[in-house]
Structure 1
Amino acid sequence: MPPEAIINWLKHHYPKPHIDPEWLQACYDWIVTEKNMNPVTDMQKIIQEVEVQLLESDLRDSMLHGTGIPNNVANINTAYSKLTGPPILVQIEAITDVGVSAYSLHKTRLIREERRDAGEEQEGEADGEVEGEGPIPNYTRSMLRLELSDGATTLRAAEYRPIHELTLGHTPLGYKLQIQNAEVRRGIIFLEPRNITIKGHLVSDREVNQEAEFAHGLRRRLG
């Protein structure tokens, strides 16, 4: 079994959802073997490696289902509730901006794709009307809408106040947040800087398909 020091550290820093013991065992064995670390002398480094692996995992694989977001909170028929208690680790499953028209986002997405294909690397303010010239344009920023999952339960989320660390076009799928004391109305979490902690990282399998999933979502909005 992984040393008690690792288990206690994870319980303190990532109390919800509960980490799957089988996943943790496999993670610990891999770190000790592949990284050639000794739990007697390298405990702090092992803990750091475990945290990285956790934040880069798909929570569907690394967490015990049913130990994170309460079922009543996710119910769209619940008029009002609040995520109380210990912080809950979640990952971003989808991200878009509902304060900007789908047509505008779609147009910017096509220009970004075109300029990347042309070899442009710089991003910033750009004139989307000038064909083939200038840096890769940023998406217009208004109000982000996300889908967040604890590995078993998925909730919609709205950016109640700007969270500048989250950026359409840059924030990858699988990006981790911890949420605490957030209001939920009819299954929608209202996010603001004071009720989240950014943990970062990504899930490589999800990030690969992010652009295609974003384009599909825009096509649905456009009908």
Structure 2
Amino acid sequence: MPARPNPATITTFLQQCYPFPPPDPSWVSECIDALIEDGQEATREAVQEQYIHADLGVSSLPAGNDAIPGPDAIDAAHGKTLFPRGLLVQVHSVAEMGASAFQLQTALDARRDVLSGASRIRRMDDEEDVEDGKVPPYPRHMLSLEVSDGRTLMRAIEYRSLPRLGLGDTKLGCKLLVKNVRCLRGTLLLAPDNTTVVGGIVDALEEHQAANFVAGLEQRLE
């Protein structure tokens, strides 16, 4: 059985990578035990990978007012720069602001057609993935997101393009490391110089993304 590393050392490593919210030492210890029980080596990189795919509401502790203002303070923030020491957040919703509901519905129908055909090919040819470039993308202009540190939900927009994010591509629970982000009327202005796309997914969030997107689109069309 692989040796058990010191949880405190790995907790410190995670906090150096992602200052706020602070990783929960209890979660780190449980993650180490789960990796070892699964026969894996509980390196700091292995724990970091699990951390990126965990819900921050479970894997971290409250950030505290020194790192993130309360919901009311964020809603009232205008022209302020937030998170000077860096804050890890997870994506709770993704929407395209610059496309009409009709454009999005057209793209959704085209994607469904291609994916349906690809599914038939997979069953016949035993292939696992849809061939690259076959699924048409959604219109890409400016994204609107909801993000949180696991506790406080915040509005955000793509002030300047973040190529690694996209409607239909970004999974809910995807982690972003934000630092020195300007806030206007309670909305975070995300840009490449203040936002790093870390990646990851939280299954409990992602499993409802498609249904919620379709429901929201139908409401807009009505």
Q: Which residue number corresponds to residue 9 of structure 1?
A: 13
Alpha-carbon distance change, 122 to 31 in structure 1, aligned in 2, over 3 angstroms: closer
Quote the Cα distance in structure 2 between the aligned partners of 1:161 and 1:212: 28
Alpha-carbon distance in structure 2 between the residues aligned to 1:76 and 1:221: 25
Q: How far apart in 1 are the matches of 2:62 and 2:193?
A: 26
Q: Which residue of 1 aligns with 2:125?
A: none
Q: TM-score, normalised by structure 2?
A: 0.84
8 Å contact 2:182–2:188 — kept in the other structure?
A: yes
Pairing 1:220–2:222 present: no
Q: Deviations over 1:172-192 (max 9, x none)?
A: 111111000010112210010
What CA distance in whole angstroms lies between the structure 1 residues aligned with 2:83 and 2:209? 31
Q: Does the 8 Å contact 2:160/2:190 carry over to 1?
A: yes
In structure 2, the residue matched to 1:20 is: 24
Between the aligned partners of 2:98 and 2:72, the Cα distance in structure 1 is: 25
Distance 2:39 2:85 in 1: 32
Q: Does structure 1 residue 31 correspond to structure 2 residue 35?
A: yes
Cross-structure match for 1:127:
none
Q: CA RMSD in A?
A: 2.1
Give structure 2 stretches of 5+ with no counterpart: 120-129
2:90 equivalent to 1:86: no
Give the distance between the partners of 1:96 and 1:111, measured in 2 at CA. 18
The equivalent of 2:70 in structure 1 is 71
- Write the distance in 2 (CA, Å) between the matches of 1:80 and 1:73: 15
Q: 1:157 aligns to what?
A: 156
The within-5 A match list for 1:154-193 is 154-193=153-192
1:41 paired residue number? none
TM-score (norm 1): 0.83
Q: Is the 8 A contact 1:158 1:188 kept in 2?
A: yes
Any idea what SS the aligned residue of 1:164 has?
coil
Using a 3 Å threshold, how does the CA distance of structure 1 residues 25 and 4 change in structure 2: closer, same or farther?
closer
Query: How far has the Cα of 1:206 moved from its partner?
Result: 2.2
CA distance in 2, matches of 1:54, 1:113: 32
Looking at structure 1, the residues matched to 45 and 72 of structure 2 have their Cα atoms a distance apart, in angstroms, of 32
Stretches of structure 1 that go unaligned for 5 or more consecutive residues are: 38-44, 125-134
Match of 2:45 among 28, 41, 48: 48
Q: Contact 1:74 / 1:155 at 8 angstroms: preserved in 2? A: no
How many angstroms does 1:51 deviate by?
Answer: 0.3
Q: 2:11 touches 2:25 (CA, 8 Å); kept in 1?
A: no
Shift of residue 146, structure 1, vs aligned partner? 0.8
Q: Is the 8 A contact 1:123 1:137 kept in 2?
A: no
Flag as ranges the 4+ runs of structure 1 deviating above 6 A. none
